Structure formats: structure tokens, C-alpha cells
């Protein structure tokens, strides 16, 4: 199945002229030694570049014949440092472009604040003056002033400023689709929003900081590789310093410029110059797939995930349980059942209640009745029943077990047609609601939670990547099994409470597995926080978004396929370029070492397999190639090595064949071509 393409907002060219211009300036700014000290390889290169530049100035002053040679070496060393900085600056620039786009969505919004939920008068205030807990009224055309939760009403909201998707979404009070984001626009109806974010701490503010890289820290893998590169740099520094007295003893005079050239060519400047860009580009690729990662560690962990837990409602399914049919029992006419269901649902402000009222109107032609004199019985988590008392009737609608208990009927003693209807609904993955009038059962309402389209194929794709999918839900085992079969998950956890999800994740982690969790509700927050990769849906609650270490702006649980692919791609890119960089040194060895000692040891001419024109040409060609290869690999570092869902052994063979052998062969060809060009131009 083809991967999801990034949104129009985030689909940028690899090298945008505006980004390149800013990156060029940033590359010069990054020459500050305090900035470069974070990258030991390039820091050492800058220090020795400065030293060779001083020697070049000395050679110019003394009119020595070495001025042309040392000047060219100095130029290419600075070129190496600048383009290493440029690679990082381009990666950062793509993130800054994202941040600028988000920043433009904010304006000096004026909010209409309400004193209380039932107030009719509003007070116009600046959005930045709003505090947590404030109530604001939003109508069509209004920008939602800050992050919050809908506490009254339902509206269509345009979230393209955040997600880049033009299709509006529905936000309503009650349930897990009540969260709204500052900067998005209300398109229809009116809603009352309770502000949940302090000024400057909204979701959009945090996104801007994240995509700019202000809070990005090196991951454990990146730190380990940095230590390895630092170690190699120290080793080759000691080797080059030791080589000077050894060369003098053998009768070979080595200049500081030549030793610096040898050092820069042997230390892993290629991966050192691209390492930071690879990490930043990995997070940038997530953003282009509309996933914001709050942790670079989570991006890497995604590459090793082997178990994925998904909350059913709102994640695997749309979460809007829609009534599909009314099933009358005990000889009750279906029209009478529909009238009773309508009355019992008129005061029900949940999405299901509103959907039932709409079905009664459209299918049965029923009009709303006057319930001003009725006594409303609100739904509570304890009773799991709602309804009203009107005209001497006690109409109730709710969970089957709760309604049966109210009418005084044991589940096993319920009428046969009632049990048959409940069982049929449960087997098909629906949710049955019992309806009663006093002590009499009237029938069952079939609520159906629709599985998201194409999700089965996406789960099959995850399975091919070696990831096991587990659905967690509060539904009964029969309903959970039906949804699991329809969605194509590998396993399910039914009647799961928040502590059950948490215990399951801890048990799997204790077995050495890396767990990813997708969820959108407040009850998912503990599991999202415990998981190695916690992907919260943008449509979810504030608690879920804060608990996860990634937020999916498209609210697509199967987006984890892209997240895992990007995580694996990040690790592969880093490993591939490290292999290429170290393999490069072998060719540089064959270019420089014979050139240094061939005068004292003519036998070393046998190592000059490239038949380079002169010792100076060999050294300069190696330095030029060392600089240009960084430029050539910048697109690969930013785009990443292509990932295919194949076994680890196949990936290793491919990596060694392409980047190991390629890293050995490419420098021989490149250095020889540069040598021919330098000889033709009489530059060496």
C-alpha cells in the first residue's frame, strides 16, 4: 500500500532557496568555537584550518614556494568546516520554515469571555490575557484563542493551520473529541470553550519550539556515535603528532600543512559533519508527515518497536457510535419503541444521544416533544443509565446490565428475544443499549462503532515490519473480539481499565520488548507516558497529548507505519554514512601515505595504485575529495536512506555492499579525477 503523503503545508523542496540563503549565513555563524565544540570532529578541523591559514599567510610573506599549496589546503579545510555547518543549518532551516508557517497562524486574536457557562453577556479581551479555566464563546468565523476543551455545543472546525489538511473536523462537548487548538477556526455553529493552556504554553507554542529544535537533545545512539568519533579523532591526532618525529628519524621532512591534511583526511569528518543534520532531518521528516515528536529518543525507539497497543475508540474506530437500528421485544411496536427512545434521549447531550434523536426524526418521522415538565435523569458513570420521568412514565436507556438490574430481571432470565438481540449486536461488534418503561423492557438500540477504512491493510503492513498489534478497549470480550477480527489486529485486551493497560505495557517491557501506544483519551494517558513511543491523537484530550512523546496531527493510528519507517530510516542513515565515512579512509590512506614517504622509501610507490601525479597533488586531491564528499552526501543525510521492510541480515548485506564497498571504491575514482583536474590546471 502506498505511504501517506505529507500535507501541502509541510511538503517542502529538499533545497528551498529561502532555506539555503538562511543556512548559508548560519553556516558562517556556526564557526563560533563555542558552537562547534559540540561537534569534536569539526571543531578539530576548524582549529587546524586556522593553523594552516596562519602558515599560508607566513608563506605569502616570505614568498615561499609553498604558498600556493598551503593556501589551497587552507581553502579546502575551511570549505569542509563550512559545509559541515551548512548541512546542519539546512536541516535546522527546514524546521524553522515550519515554525515560521505556524507562527503566521497566530494573530492578536480578540476573545469573547463568559463569566459563567450559562451567561449570555460576553466581554471582549485579548487572547494573550486569557488564563486557564476561562470560558470563551466561539462562533462561525472566530479563531479559537487558545488551547481548550469544548464544554458546550458542537461545531465544525478548520484545523488546517495546525494539520495542513483542508477538511474540517467536528469538535463537541463530551467524549474524547472535545479538545481544540488555539489558532484554528470555527466554521459552523457555536461552542463554549474552557481554556486549558496558560499564555505562551499552548500546543502551537510548544510545536514552534520543538520544530525549531530549541529543545532537541542528542539521543543515546547519537551520543554513543559522538563518543566513537571523538575517540577516533583523538587516536588519529596522536598518530599524526607521533608521525612527525618518526618521519624526521627516517629522513623525511613533513610540514605542518601536510600533517594537518593527513589528520583531516583520516578523522571521520564525513559522518562528523553530517551527524547532527541526520538527527534533525529525522525529526523534520516526522513533521512533514504531520507528526510532532517531543523527544529525539522516541524517534529512535520507534525504529525498534515490536509491539503496538491501540485504543479502540477514536483510534481503530471513528469513536462516534451511531445508532443503526431499534429492535423491539415482547410484542412492542417498533414505532412505540422509537417514541420511547426519543423521549429518553432528548436530554442526552452525548454524541450518541444526539445521533439517536436525529435517527428518530429521519427514519420514524418523530417530532420533539415538550419535556419542560419532565424530570431529567442524567447519565452517570455509576448508574450507566439516562432518561426522564414524564406523564407517569419512567423511561430509561443505558447499559444492558444496568437496565436489567433496574427492572429487576436477572440477565439469564431476560426474555429470549431480548437476549438474542443483545447477543447478535455484540457479536457484530456493536454496543447494545437497553430501553425500559418502568419495569417493562421495550427493546434494544444498536449502536455501531465504525472501523476506520483501510485499517486492516495498514495493520497487515505493520505485521510485515515485524510489529505485533494489540487492541485495548473497555468493551466486553465478545464485542472486542468482533472489532479485532474486523480491524485485523493480532490480539486484544478487553474490559481494560487504565491500570490494566499500564500493567500490560510494563509486563511486555519486562520481557525486553519496546512498546508503542496510540491513544486519544484521558484514560490512555498513563499508558502513553509508560510506553517507549507514546503517540497521542491530535483529536484527543489535553491529558493524552501531554502524556505522549509524539502527537499525530492527522489522528491516524496507522501513521505509526511512517513513524517506525522514519525511526528505522534514521538509524540506517546514521549507520550507512558511518560505514561510508570509515571506508573512505582506506582510499585516503593509499593516496597520502605513499606520497609522504616515497622519497625516503621508494618501495612505497607500489601503494600508489591510483598513479597520482605528484606527492603534493595526492595530498591536495585527498583533501579536496574529503571536502566535496560532504557536499555530495547532504541530500542523502536530509532525505535519509530508503527503508524496506526486510530482515536484519538482508539490511546488513545491503548496507555493507552499497556503503561499505561504495565507500572503498568511490574515493579511488574521485581522488584520481581530482588529481587529473589539478594536474591539467597546474595547481599541484
**15 annotated among ligand-binding-site residues:** no
Tell me the C-alpha distance between 615 and 264, whole Å: 17
Long-range CB contacts for residues 520-524, cutoff 8 Å, separation at least 24: 520/176, 520/311, 520/314, 520/315, 520/319, 520/544, 520/555, 521/176, 521/311, 521/313, 521/314, 522/176, 523/497, 523/498, 524/311, 524/498
Does 352 carry a binding-site annotation?
yes
Residue 19 annotated as part of some ligand binding site: no
383 is in an annotated binding site: yes
Say how many residues make up the chain. Answer: 684
Comparing CA positions, the residue from 402, 397, 476 lying closest to residue 444 is 397
Is 382 among the annotated ligand-binding positions? yes
Q: Which residue bears the cell 467536528?
A: 170
The sign of the dihedral angle between the CA atoms of 217, 219, 222, 224 is positive
**Angle value at C-alpha 12, between 535 and 187, nearest 5 degrees:** 65
H helix or E strand, kind and range, residue 103: helix 67-103
Q: Is 514 exposed, middle or buried (0-12, 13-18, 19+ CB in 10 A)?
A: middle
- Residue 218: count of CB within 10 angstroms of its CB: 16
Asked if 559 and 548 count as a contact pair (C-beta separation under 8 A), the reply is: no
Instruction: Tell whether residue 380 is among the known ligand binding residues.
Output: yes
386 annotated as ligand-binding: yes
Q: 562: which residues sit within 8 A by CB, 6+ positions away?
A: 3, 4, 286, 289, 291
CA-based nearest residue to 567, from 290, 293, 224, 301 = 301
Active-site residue list:
311
Question: Is 115 annotated as a binding-site member?
Answer: no
What residues contact 278, with CB distance under 8 A and at least 6 apart?
91, 570, 573, 574, 577, 637, 640
| 554 annotated ligand-binding residue | no
* 524 known member of a binding site: yes
DSSP string, 422-466: HHHHHHTT-EEEEEEETTEEEEEEEEEPPBPTTHHHHHHHHHHTT
Q: Is position 520 annotated in a ligand binding site? A: yes
Residue set of the binding site for Mg(2+): 520, 524
User: Annotated binding residues for ATP, as ranges?
Assistant: 348, 352, 379-386, 397
Write out the binding residues: 348, 352, 379-386, 397, 520, 524
Amino acid at each position: 500500500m502506498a505511504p501517506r503523503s505529507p500535507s501541502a503545508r509541510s511538503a517542502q523542496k529538499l533545497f528551498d532557496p529561502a532555506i539555503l540563503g538562511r543556512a548559508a549565513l548560519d553556516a558562517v555563524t556556526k564557526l563560533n568555537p563555542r558552537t562547534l565544540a559540540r561537534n569534536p570532529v569539526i571543531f578539530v578541523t576548524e582549529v587546524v584550518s586556522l593553523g594552516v591559514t596562519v602558515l599560508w599567510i607566513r608563506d605569502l610573506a616570505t614568498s615561499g614556494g609553498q604558498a600556493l599549496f598551503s593556501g589551497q589546503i587552507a581553502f579546502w579545510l575551511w570549505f569542509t568546516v563550512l559545509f559541515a555547518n551548512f548541512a546542519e543549518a539546512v536541516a535546522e532551516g527546514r524546521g524553522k520554515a515550519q515554525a515560521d508557517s505556524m507562527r503566521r497562524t497566530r494573530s492578536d486574536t480578540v476573545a469573547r469571555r463568559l463569566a459563567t457557562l450559562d451567561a449570555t453577556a460576553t466581554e471582549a479581551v485579548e487572547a494573550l490575557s486569557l488564563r486557564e479555566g476561562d470560558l470563551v464563546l466561539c462562533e462561525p468565523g472566530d479563531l479559537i484563542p487558545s488551547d481548550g476543551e469544548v464544554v458546550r455545543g458542537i461545531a465544525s472546525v478548520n484545523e488546517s493551520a495546525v494539520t495542513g489538511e483542508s477538511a474540517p473536523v467536528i469538535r463537541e462537548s463530551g467524549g474524547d473529541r472535545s479538545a481544540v487548538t488555539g489558532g484554528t477556526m470555527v466554521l459552523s455553529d457555536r461552542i463554549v470553550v474552557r481554556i486549558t493552556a496558560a499564555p505562551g504554553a499552548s500546543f502551537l507554542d510548544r510545536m514552534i519550539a520543538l520544530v525549531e529544535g530549541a529543545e532537541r537533545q542528542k539521543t543515546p545512539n547519537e551520543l554513543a556515535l559522538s563518543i566513537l568519533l571523538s575517540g577516533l579523532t583523538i587516536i588519529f591526532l596522536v598518530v599524526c603528532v607521533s608521525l612527525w618525529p618518526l618521519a624526521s628519524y627516517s629522513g623525511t621532512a613533513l610540514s605542518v600543512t601536510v600533517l594537518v591534511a593527513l589528520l583531516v583526511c583520516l578523522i571521520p569528518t564525513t559522518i562528523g559533519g553530517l551527524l547532527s543534520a541526520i538527527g534533525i532531518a529525522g525529526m523534520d521528516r516526522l513533521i512533514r508527515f504531520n507528526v510532532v515528536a517531543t523527544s529525539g529518543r522516541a524517534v529512535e525507539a520507534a525504529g525498534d518497536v515490536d509491539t503496538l497497543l491501540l485504543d479502540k475508540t477514536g483510534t481503530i474506530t471513528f469513536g462516534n457510535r451511531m445508532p443503526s437500528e431499534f429492535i423491539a421485544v415482547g410484542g412492542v411496536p417498533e414505532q412505540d419503541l422509537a417514541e420511547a427512545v426519543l423521549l429518553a434521549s432528548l436530554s442526552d447531550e452525548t454524541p450518541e444521544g444526539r445521533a439517536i434523536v436525529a435517527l428518530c426524526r429521519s427514519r420514524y418521522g418523530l417530532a420533539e416533544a415538550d419535556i419542560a415538565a419532565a424530570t431529567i435523569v442524567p447519565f452517570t458513570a455509576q448508574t450507566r443509565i439516562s432518561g426522564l420521568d414524564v406523564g407517569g412514565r419512567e423511561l430509561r436507556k443505558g447499559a444492558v446490565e444496568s437496565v436489567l438490574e433496574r427492572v429487576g430481571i436477572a440477565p439469564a432470565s431476560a426474555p429470549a428475544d431480548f437476549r438474542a438481540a443483545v447477543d447478535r449486536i455484540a457479536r457484530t461488534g456493536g454496543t447494545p443499549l437497553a430501553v425500559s418503561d418502568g419495569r417493562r423492557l421495550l427493546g434494544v438500540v444498536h449502536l455501531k462503532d465504525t472501523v476506520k477504512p483501510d485499517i486492516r491493510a495498514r495493520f497487515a503492513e505493520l505485521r510485515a515490519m515485524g510489529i505485533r498489534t494489540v487492541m485495548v478497549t473497555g468493551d466486553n470480550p465478545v464485542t472486542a473480539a468482533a472489532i479485532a477480527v474486523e480491524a485485523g489486529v493480532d490480539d486484544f485486551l478487553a474490559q481494560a481499565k487504565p491500570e490494566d493497560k499500564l500493567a500490560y505495557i510494563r509486563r511486555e517491557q519486562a520481557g525486553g520488548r519496546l512498546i508503542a501506544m496510540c491513544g486519544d483519551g484521558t484514560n490512555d494517558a498513563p499508558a502513553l507516558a509508560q510506553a517507549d513511543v507514546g503517540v497521542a491523537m491530535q483529536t484527543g484530550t489535553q491529558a493524552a497529548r501531554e502524556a505522549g512523546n509524539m502527537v499525530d496531527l492527522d489522528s491516524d493510528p496507522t501513521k505509526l507505519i511512517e513513524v517506525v519507517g522514519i525511526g528505522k530510516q534514521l538509524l540506517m542513515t546514521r549507520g550507512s554514512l558511518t560505514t561510508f565515512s570509515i571506508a573512505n579512509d582506506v582510499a585516503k590512506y593509499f593516496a597520502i601515505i605513499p606520497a609522504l614517504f616515497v622519497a625516503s622509501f621508494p618501495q612505497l610507490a607500489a601503494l600508489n595504485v591510483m598513479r597520482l601525479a605528484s606527492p603534493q597533488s595526492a595530498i591536495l586531491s585527498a583533501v579536496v575529495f574529503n571536502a566535496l564528499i560532504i557536499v555530495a552526501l547532504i541530500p542523502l543525510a536530509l532525505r535519509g536512506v530508503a527503508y524496506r521492510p526486510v530482515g536484519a541480515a538482508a539490511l546488513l548485506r545491503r548496507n555493507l555492499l552499497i556503503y561499505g564497498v561504495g565507500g572503498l571504491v568511490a574515493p579511488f575514482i574521485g581522488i584520481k579525477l581530482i588529481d587529473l583536474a589539478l594536474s591539467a590546471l597546474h595547481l599541484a
